[in-house]
Amino acid sequence: MSNEIDDNKWETKKTDLEEWFAVNPDQSDLAMIVRSMFALGDANPSTRKRYWNSIVGVFTDVANSPIGQGRKSLMDTATKSSFDLYLNDTLFVSLRDTVYPLVYATARTHGKSGGVLYRTLEDGATTYATDGVKKERLFLNAAFNAHANGDMSKKYHWDGSYENGYPVVSFIGGDEEE
């Protein structure tokens, strides 16, 4: 049974990916491949796990992949796609090309990572930007989930909106400790 994906889960995966393709029309080549894999899985349900693994592989190098990892987000597919594009295209480039040159002399990795200066690393600018994107992803995902759940105990809420290309985060002032 571990190699089988039931009908409900299979259909949910298909629906989620179709939503992603609807907001990412430039990925029509991937859509053809993924739809073919789903058709094969529809024809032979006992092999769905194998086809799903192939679908996951198709998205390996896609910056705003709909195949999520890590903490569960309550974002719908369109919001998640915009979120990933913001993180990878806007924030990463801004941190690497604009912020890092201003802080390279003093910016250090997290203490648990040795607390070394980013400028001593092989590609300090990219590492700095990657670390910043990770922190922003966690922060915005938590703020979005707080908004989606109506959790007023959380200090920050984000409804998935942007202004001038940047997320509009609301300070609610809940009881959450930083």
Which phi and psi angles does 170 have, rounded to 5°?
A: -100, 135
The DSSP H or E segment spanning 171 is strand 166-171
The pLDDT of residue 177: 54
pLDDT interval class at 140 (50, 70, 90): very high
- Specify the 3-state DSSP secondary structure of 68: coil
Assess whether pLDDT exceeds 80 at residue 22: yes
Q: What average pLDDT does the segment 105-126 reach?
A: 84
Q: What is the chain's mean pLDDT, rounded? A: 86
pLDDT interval class at 38 (50, 70, 90): very high
What tokens were used for 65?
A: 């992949």
Q: Taking every pair of C-alpha atoms in the chain, what is the biggest distance, in angstroms?
A: 59
What is the rounded distance in angstroms from the CA atom of residue 68 to the CA atom of residue 50? Answer: 18
Assess whether pLDDT exceeds 90 at residue 162: yes
The pLDDT of residue 151: 87
pTM for this prediction: 0.63
The pLDDT of residue 156: 92
Give the contacts of 67 (CB within 8 A, at least 6 positions apart). 55, 56, 59
What is the rounded distance in angstroms from the CA atom of residue 166 to the CA atom of residue 171? Answer: 15
What tokens were used for 122?
A: 């092989």
- What stretches of the chain adopt beta strand conformation (E)? 156-163, 166-171
The pLDDT of residue 68: 66
Assess whether pLDDT exceeds 80 at residue 18: yes
Q: What average pLDDT does the segment 119-135 reach?
A: 91
pLDDT interval class at 1 (50, 70, 90): very low
* Residue pLDDT, tens place only, 43-102: 999 989 889 889 988 887 887 788 865 556 788 878 888 888 899 889 999 999 999 999
DSSP-assigned beta bridge partners for residue 108? 117
* Identity of the residue numbered 39: A
- Specify the 3-state DSSP secondary structure of 37: helix
The pLDDT of residue 78: 80
- Owner of token pair 């393709």: 21
Q: Do residues 64 and 84 touch, judged by C-beta distance below 8 A?
A: yes
What tokens were used for 108?
A: 């250090």
Domain extent listing, the chain = 7-58, 77-171
Degrees, nearest 5: CA angle 130-34-67:
30
Assess whether pLDDT exceeds 60 at residue 149: yes
